[in-house]
Structure 1
Amino acid sequence: MPPVDSPTPGLRERKKARTRQTLRKEAFRLFREHGYAQTTVEQIAAAADVSPSTFFRYFPSKEELVIADDFDPIIIENFRAQPVGASITDALRAAIASVASTMSKEEWSFENERMELMRSEPQLQGAMRRESERSIELIAGLVAERCDLDKEDLRVRAIAGALVGGFQALGEPPNVVVHDFDLIGFLGAGMPLDGPAVLPRSRQKSSSRTRRTG
């Protein structure tokens, strides 16, 4: 299913989007050059040619600049637009695929860098836990809404937790296929462990060398 059409944003919205993008771009440049902990909000604002007060109108804190996922609202919109009869996994697959297909190489590169920073920066670990909890609540709400179930139903929360935990374990932004592995299909099939192992390409090569030399 193609991405959901959204109204063309006006001039004010486009300017806000550009400012937000510039803040994140300059922040990550400074993180690469000086380190996350050594970079201040004031430095980020100056690099983006805005005031610190303007920074805080876009992000409550430096950690929120990193944690914020700009694609969540678009995925939610696409998920809700999927056919009523589609399963949860099929609806999620279609929603993620439709958004992923519109992302540029630069956007994918930024998302991968953002994920790596969240995993590696000790100061972001608390924020990562909060973001995981937020993501579980978000997905649980969508699943409950689609299936007409209570958000606190343990089945709903188990699905949400499995999805969030699965993507985090793979270590990359949500995509339909990661490392040649269909996480959504795997979960939808009941997480079977029989059959050949599914390893990232780098591990596949390593395992192959080990078998040849063993």
Structure 2
Amino acid sequence: MSTSPPEQRADRADDPLDRLPLRERKKLKTRRAIQQHALRLFEEQGYDATTVEQIAAAAEISPSTFFRYFPTKEDVVVSDEYDPVMARMLREQPADLPPVEALRRVLRDLLPEMFAADQETVLARVRLTASVPSVRSRTFEAMRAGTQAMLREVIAERAGRRPDDLDADALAWAVVGVLMSAMYAWMDGVVEVGDMADLIDHNLAFLAAGCPL
């Protein structure tokens, strides 16, 4: 795992974080720094042997500050800053684009940037998700409260529907399923990490076409 300072990584010109407003970037840089220290300690000591107090000490913050950014230790693995980036990019897509096509355009831009800026972090998080049951359970909860809820809101907004629209909710869950399918394909060794973006785009095209078999 890279030991380059999180601050330097977060300031890279091609970092997707640069798409966010300054106030959000500052907060998310702090989250990223805490996460980097946590992932390093998990690799060195093991997930179960690493405490929140140790993570906080490494990040030079108090445990109470840690919990302001991450409600649980599992969340320091599960959480990332890409949901607000994705939401912002989706809202910038042409209004007449169907929702899945809009999402394909966003991810074709975002995923290469994400892997270029954060590949080691992404892989470390996926490995922990695959190997730690509590993290795997929290991942599903976070998907529901984070990515799925964001997608439902933006899909409904673009369609001129209520935020709790059931059709938007169903489509958002279908998209989450596509993302999780690609993640498990990588964890099972079916695809290489470099093929993830293409697989996600293929799966979204398959979804948009009505899943013809």
Q: Shorter-normalised TM-score: what interval? A: 0.7 to 0.9
Gaps of 5+ in 1: 194-214
**2:115–2:122 contact (8 Å) kept in structure 1:** no
Which one of 49, 54, 68 corresponds to residue 65 of structure 2? 54
For 1:108-158, what per-residue CA distance to the aligned partner results, in whole angstroms no more than 9, with x for missing partners? 221122123123211223312311322322212211111123444443222
- Which has more helix, going by share of residues? 2
Aligned counterpart, 1:208? none
Cα separation, partners in 2 of 1:151 and 1:65, compared to 1, 3 Å: same
Residues 1:9 and 2:22 aligned together: yes
Alignment TM-score, normalising by the size of structure 1:
0.75
The CA RMSD over aligned residues, in Å, is: 2.8
Which one of 40, 44, 53 corresponds to residue 42 of structure 1? 53
Q: Work out the CA distance in 2 between the residues paired with 1:94 and 1:185.
A: 11
Q: If you compute each CA radius of gyration, which structure gives the higher value, 1 or 2? A: 1
- By relative contact order (CA 8 Å, sep 6+), the higher-ranking structure is 2
Gaps of 5+ in 2: 1-15, 187-192
Aligned counterpart, 2:135? 124
**1:176–1:184 contact (8 Å) kept in structure 2:** no
Secondary structure of 1:144's match? helix
Alignment TM-score, normalising by the size of structure 2:
0.75
State how 1:1-214 maps to structure 2 within 5 Å: 6=19, 9=22, 14=26, 16-103=27-114, 105-134=116-145, 135-171=147-183, 176-178=197-199, 182-193=202-213
Shift of 1:17: 4.5
* Percent pairwise identity: 35
Shift of 1:37: 1.6
Q: Work out the CA distance in 2 between the residues paired with 1:165 and 1:39.
A: 31
Paired residues, what number?
187
